[in-house]
Amino acid sequence: MQLIDGKKISSDILDEIMIQVKELQARGKKVPHLATVLVGDDGASQTYVAAKVKACERVGFESTLVRLPESTSEQELLEKVNELNANSAIDAYIVQMPLPKHINEQKIIESIFPQKDVDGFHPQNVGKMALNLPTYLPATPYGIIQLLKRYNISTEGKHCVVIGRSNIVGSPMSILMARNSNPGNCTVTLCHSKTVNLKEHTLLADIIIIALGRPEFLTANMVKQGAVVIDVGITRVASAQTKSGFKLLGDVKFDEVAPKCSYITPVPGGVGPMTIASLLMNTLLAVNSKN
């Protein structure tokens, strides 16, 4: 069994981006500028946004954090989005999800300029992804593709079972694994809460990608010997053993599943660190496609 080290791969990618930023500067070009809009004070979102700002600093990007109060109306947020669309100094931006309940997320996503939508959530970018045209891939699936690529994990002709069909992880992941590309070229089964007898599917899988948010859901008796297991789930659970009083659990019962796997991602330190690296890769793409 080989552990897939997302922390290391993400750090390698940030180093590669830093070199490219230095090259841009050497050619007299402006450095990439990524903005993030954060509405309200959701704890997880604040942590995530702070990590993005830090990663921008590390690679030499400019970054702007736009903080808006929880009470911001949909109209006010749309005005901010229009401002960012029109601001030529900002190459790319994201609106941190989830948004407060009174704001229609889809409406906001559709108002972002597709050229600046480095989250890859705009329907135009999702369509391009499905058609295998150049575009921004959604950050978490893009990160998983990078892990498979950089560990030289063969995917062609393999049976991949994706569990979970969210717009940000499961659904795009199933599209990417089925595309005619490398990694890709899998035969894909997409499972969700209405799937009958999930175990019958997972036992046939060469590659399992699980994104549920249900701690330790995937157990050893659901996994074929030698399978590749990618665990996207991150759930914070109370723990008496840690100083902080909590620990992070993935969707895989790691201790019993790992010995059966050829490759497996840990939680934390697997898929998690890749998401920000992917976002910065997309931001660099936004700049390079203008140059």
Give the residues lining the site for ligand NAP (CB under 6 A): 140, 163-166, 168-170, 191-195, 198, 211-214, 232-235, 271-272, 275
Nearest by Cα to 33 from 244, 283, 264: 283
Residue with tokens 């053993």: 241
Question: Are 276 and 52 within 8 A, CB to CB?
Answer: yes
For residue 268, the minimal CB distance to ligand NAP (Å) is: 9
For residue 28, the minimal CB distance to ligand NAP (Å) is: 35
Q: What sign does the dihedral 276-278-282-283 (CA atoms) show?
A: positive
Q: How far is CA 110 from CA 33, 117, 193, 214, in A?
A: 21, 10, 27, 30
For residue 231, the minimal CB distance to ligand NAP (Å) is: 9
For residue 214, the minimal CB distance to ligand NAP (Å) is: 6
Nearer to ligand NAP, 87 or 235 (CB): 235
Nearer to ligand NAP, 90 or 251 (CB): 251
Nearer to ligand NAP, 53 or 78 (CB): 53
Nearer to ligand NAP, 80 or 96 (CB): 96
Residues near 43 by beta carbon (within 8 Å), at least 6 away in sequence:
none
CA distance 31 to 21: 6
Q: Which residue among 96, 116, 117, 146 is the active-site one?
A: 96
CA distance 163 to 152: 23
Q: Return the number of other C-beta atoms located less than 10 Å from residue 149's C-beta.
A: 13
CA 219 to chain centre: 24
Amino acid, res. 1: M
208 forms beta bridges with 161, 229
Assigned token pair, 219: 């157990």
Nearer to ligand NAP, 21 or 283 (CB): 283
- Asked about 5 being catalytic, the answer comes back as no
Q: Which residue among 5, 52, 206, 231 is the active-site one?
A: 52
- Asked about 251 being catalytic, the answer comes back as no
- Asked about 42 being catalytic, the answer comes back as no
Question: Are 143 and 271 within 8 A, CB to CB?
Answer: yes
For residue 65, the minimal CB distance to ligand NAP (Å) is: 19
Amino acid, res. 160: C
For residue 210, the minimal CB distance to ligand NAP (Å) is: 8
Nearer to ligand NAP, 90 or 257 (CB): 257
CA distance 218 to 145: 21
Q: Which residue among 5, 91, 117, 119 is the active-site one?
A: 119
Residues involved in catalysis = 52, 96, 119
